[in-house]
A = this chain, B = another copy of it.
């Protein structure tokens, strides 16, 4: 496992070899990993433009540009942590319930191995499977949910398990600590004023896209203190970002976050105890010049880096014997 490092740039060109997330080694077994990057190529839950089933493959391909040092955190996350591409969930494209079972199994194995699952969708319906697995280990978790939509609808054509409902289901199933939940970037037309009731009733904090635009990202970041010290899950729907920066998605909403704001937001999670994360709704057929996949790849790098930076900081604060085995890994 100690080879869980990205392939070097030189002497292997970035465009060479099989595509893995950020050129990390492909290590199907999560044992020994700190962070496991997992693809979930399922899009049976979309309601408009399909395509996220190709998200993991495309993000892998266009994550080749990611290098190893994060200059803002001042850290090399793939040295600080053992990170690998564990491949894709063997999704069932035809049966959402069976698919949830498969996601829970795959993510459960990662969690059991002591690793943090960082997942790449797929549509947003997959987050429910992820949260089930995470809550089984950590109990109800806090939530940072970046999205244009609350995804707290009840049902769609009688189906309660689709990309517009995962967080309603998660609340109903007790997977979320809603006092420590925040939604950022919500905007656009909805079906009814009542659409917002569920979040309000469960005291989920909602920061609208208009608020971000008017108040600035620094103002938004101050609300993250709500997350507290407990375990937190990060769910990032790429449509939280504006279509100019992320056209390749299925239900785009104009007026979204800039890529700068998106990155600043994730960086601000330094200190938060992230126990799982997903980046969903990248739809390659609607991308162009791969800018959406490239942004997604960078956001994944931000997620891994902020986990690394958080742990590094913790170690600095808590003096004592260094974690065994760390030395070998860090060479």
Show the binding face of A for B, using Cβ within 8 Å: 9-20, 26, 39, 41, 43-44, 47-51, 53-54, 56-57, 60-61, 64-72, 74, 76, 85, 87-95, 98, 156-159, 162, 187-193, 195-196, 208-210, 213-214, 218, 242-245, 247-248, 251-255, 258-260, 263-264, 285-289, 291, 294-295, 298, 301
Contacts and interface: CB of A to CB of B under 8 A. Distances in A.
Given A157-B92, A191-B9, A57 B289 contact: no
A285 to B, nearest CB: 4
A258 B256 CA distance: 10
Contacts of A254: 245, 259, 263, 291, 294-295, 298
Contacts of A243: 245, 259, 289, 291, 294-295
A189 B294 contact: no
A189 B76 CA distance: 9
B9 A158 contact: no
B51 A13 contact: no
A61 B57 contact: yes
Nearest to A160: B94
A149 B193 CA distance: 38
Nearest to A93: B13
Contacts of A294: 243, 252, 254
A-B complex: 3 closest residue pairs judged by Cβ atoms: A50-B50, A285-B285, A67-B189
12 contacts: A11-B92, A17-B39, A67-B190, A70-B189, A74-B193, A94-B156, A94-B157, A95-B158, A188-B298, A242-B244, A244-B259, A254-B295
Nearest to A74: B193
A92 B91 CA distance: 22
Nearest to A54: B15
B16 A18 contact: no
Most buried by B among A11, A16, A17, A259: A16
A245 B247 CA distance: 10
B16 A41 contact: yes
A98 B13 CA distance: 14
Given A72-B208, A243-B245, A243-B295, 6 more contacts: A43-B50, A47-B93, A76-B192, A95-B158, A242-B259, A245-B254
Nearest to A208: B71
B13 A91 contact: yes
A192 B94 contact: no
A157 B189 contact: no
Nearest to A246: B244
B244 A94 contact: no
A90 B16 contact: yes
A41 B178 CA distance: 38
A159 to B, nearest CB: 4
A162 B69 contact: no
A15 B48 contact: yes
A65 B192 CA distance: 14
A248 B289 contact: yes
